[in-house]
Amino acid sequence: MKALVVDDSAVMRKVLIGALARAGINEVDQAADGVEAVNACQAQNYDLVLMDWNMPNMLGIDAVKGIRAAGKTMPIIMVTTEAEKSRVIEALKAGANNYVIKPFEPTTIVAKIQEVLGITPQAG
């Protein structure tokens, strides 16, 4: 499986790559903003995208819309500090499959990744 991690923070990308590894996904590309994310998704296929909301050049929400407009159907999880219910609803309407609010527990993001990909959590 291959994932794309989109966040303007290199530290957060590293945290998310660690969470993906815990979920069994070790092939990961990175993007620092929405423009890079849309371009990456047009260039190749991903099994999952983890998308921040607040980034330079293009917001994550707009990147989600762009990815969906290009006909891409992979699961997208918003990973953001945007905690208002209206933001969650907006993201889901735009095409996000799930939503994680920062800061988060590593087990939370791993569970969401497994949930959207239909992966059965491994014991231990």
Report the percentage of the chain scoring pLDDT > 70.
98
Record the pTM.
Answer: 0.95
CA dist list (Å): 47 to 41, 76, 81 = 10, 9, 24
Indicate whether 17 pLDDT > 80.
yes
At 83, the pLDDT band (50, 70, 90 cuts) reads: very high
**Residue 3: closest CA among 95, 21, 57:** 21
Which domains does the chain show, CATH number per domain? 2-117 (3.40.50.2300)
**Residue 54: closest CA among 95, 28, 91, 109:** 91
At 122, the pLDDT band (50, 70, 90 cuts) reads: low
